[in-house]
Structures are given as C-alpha cells and as structure tokens.
Amino acid sequence: MFPWDTLADVTALARAHPDGIVDLSVGTPVDPVAPIIRDALAAASSSPGYPTTAGTPALRMAAADALARRYGVTGVPESAVLPVIGTKELIAWLPTLLGLGPDDLVVVPELAYPTYEVGARLAGAQLLRADSLTQIGPRTPALVYLNSPSNPTGKVLGADHLRKVVSWARERGVLIASDECYLGLGWDATPVSVLHPSVCDGDHTGLLAVHSLSKTSSLAGYRAGFVAGDPAVVAELLAVRKHAGMMMPTPVQAAMVAALEDDEHEREQRDRYAARREILLPALKSVGFTVDDSEAGLYLWATRGEPCRETLAWLAERGILVAPGEFYGPRGERHVRVALTATDERISAAAERLKG
C-alpha cells in the first residue's frame, strides 16, 4: 500500500471542516510559476526534435552559474552538470544507474525522504539508516545520502560535519549523494553545499549534489532538477541515461534556464515560505507543540509527545492535514511533519484554528 493512502480517514475528517481543509501534508507548491519562466517555456514550445540527455549547453552553464551565485559553489564545469526529470526520478534510479546490486550498501539518514530507500530497493541493494559514521561501523558503503536541510526535520549539517563525512568517504572511495533541494531555504542556520570549498576544498571527486527547482522556483509540475559534481560519475550517469531515454523535454530545459538565471523570483518564493513559517511556528508552539530542528527547509518537525497518528487526528479535527513522522523512519513515530506549502490565506486559517 502506498503510505499516503493510510491517511484516508484523517483526510476525510479534515475535509469535513466547515471552512475547508488546510493541507500541509504532501508539501506540494501552490504559488504561481514566475512569468519569466512561463514565457521561456512558451517560446520553446515548438520543439519537434529529440532533446539531448545532457541538456543544452545553456542549461548546463545556467546551472553551474546558479550554483556559484546562489551558494558559493565554484569550479563546476558544464560537463559536470546533468538535468534530471525531477530529482525524485534521479534518486529512485541512482543506485540502479550506478550498477549497484545485492552486495552493495546504501546509507540513508535515520529520518529520510522515502525515495532513498525506494532507490536502494529497486537496485536490490542493502539499506542502512545512519546519522553518524560510527553507526556505519567497519562496512564500506557504495553510496551515502546526505540531506541538509533535511526533509522531514529541517536540520542543517554544518560545514565541519560535512567535511568529516567527505574525508571519511574519500579515504574509502565511497560516493556521497547530497540532496540539496532545500539549500536555499535557510532560516535560523545557513545551509552549505557539499560542493562548497569550505567542505571539499574545491575537489568534487566522489561527490554529487542533487538540486531541484520544484520548491525554489515552484516548478514541481515541470519536473526540473539537476545533478552536479564528480565529472567522471556525471559522465557515467549520462551514458546510461542516454540509453534509458531519460531526457528532459526541450521546453522544460528552456524554462529551467530562465529559472536558474533569475534570482529575483527565487528570493520572492523564499520570502513567502519565511512569512508562512513566522505564522505557523508560533501558532504550533502556543498550543503546546514542541518544534524540533526546523532551522531550515520547507517543514516544521513538531510533536505533542504522543504517537504521531494521535497528533494527526487532533489536527484533522481542526481541518489541518499533516504527514505522520513514521513515514520517514522509525524515529519519527512521535512527530508530525508540517509543510509550509499552502497559500497565505490557508496558513492564516490554520493558525487561527490552532489558537481556537
């Protein structure tokens, strides 16, 4: 059963609220796509030929430039960037694309975006949930996932922590995939990329950074992301993806160039999420929730000190739907994940309902 299907009862309860549901569960963007991006999509709509799997030179350059401008990641050549059809696609297939199998170990955070596990399973690889190198023990994984800021917790891994993981991985030839889809959403902490010189000294060997435009540019519907890092690994991914037909449509590539070249809409989007957080965070605390981590990213990781399904029901009675923490790993069984992705009007409605 798809985990979200287990929410049918609480969804029905929340929907029955006289003023309608406030859906803070899946975290799907609701704000309009910026005109500059829509215009680029429309202008490229006559695209009869096949797209290139590698992406246009303009797209690869725009991604490398955006990494430098927005996140201080320098020294990424165009050839070390590859577009993906939404990062969920890449994450679900990465172990398979890398040729991992039953002898290989994939390490994911203890509380994690479920698709890391899906990707390991699709490849038939082994899975370990671990937040520290000591938890991994003497084994040498093939692939280690990092996710800072985290989904679901909003925790940020500092440059020192990332440096340690990178140096440990380098000594063992372990590939790191750093899922950085919330990197631009730092509130009480400044997230840093695994490709940042303060983490890797400018050497991208054995490192992949995964970037999504779904949240930063509200492009979840376009399916737009990219992976950047170790040129040899990117070349290997490109070769397999060419054979597998994993091509981003040409109009989406054009739209993505516009999105990556423009920082203004990205800032506006971040400001919208910041404002929603300023409303929801105190509202949750005022009715007794403890909000853990949540220093960055798109979610509040909240608990009432009870099993998450009880909290789900409590919120659903107030017409608010959130995600149960147990979706993200056993350690999440007493937390719920509250997404900041609803309109300003719905977020205010949620805050009002909480205050009673």
Ligand X SMILES: Cc1ncc(COP(=O)(O)O)c(C=O)c1O
Please state the closest distance from residue 179 (CB atom) to ligand X, in A: 5
Please state the closest distance from residue 83 (CB atom) to ligand X, in A: 11
Closer residue to ligand X, CB minimum distance, 109 or 319: 109
336's enclosing H/E stretch is strand 336-339
Look up residue 300 and give its two tokens: 């509040």
Radius of gyration of the chain (CA): 20
Closer residue to ligand X, CB minimum distance, 212 or 253: 212
Residue-wise burial string across 213-240, b where 16 or more C-beta atoms lie within 10 A, e elsewhere = bbbbbbbbebbbbbbbbbeebbeebbee
Q: List C-alpha distances in Å: 251 to 46, 53, 82, 258.
A: 8, 13, 16, 11
Please state the closest distance from residue 17 (CB atom) to ligand X, in A: 25
Please state the closest distance from residue 171 (CB atom) to ligand X, in A: 27
Residue 294 CA to residue 298 CA, distance in Å, equals 8
Closer residue to ligand X, CB minimum distance, 59 or 351: 59
CA-wise closest residue to 145 among 202, 105, 185: 105
Please state the closest distance from residue 248 (CB atom) to ligand X, in A: 12
Please state the closest distance from residue 332 (CB atom) to ligand X, in A: 14
Residue-wise burial string across 308-330, b where 16 or more C-beta atoms lie within 10 A, e elsewhere = bbebbeebbebbbbbbbbbbbbe
Closer residue to ligand X, CB minimum distance, 106 or 351: 106
Please state the closest distance from residue 132 (CB atom) to ligand X, in A: 20
- Three-class SS of 174-205: CEEEEECCCCCCECCCCCCCCCCHHHHCCCCC
Closer residue to ligand X, CB minimum distance, 41 or 91: 91
The three-state secondary structure class of 287 is: coil
Amino acid at 39: D
Query: Where on the chain is the footprint of ligand X (CB under 6 A)?
Result: 27, 86-88, 91, 113, 147, 151, 179, 181, 212, 214, 220, 225
Closer residue to ligand X, CB minimum distance, 181 or 233: 181
The residues near 267 (Cβ < 8 Å, ≥ 6 apart) are none
Closer residue to ligand X, CB minimum distance, 27 or 186: 27
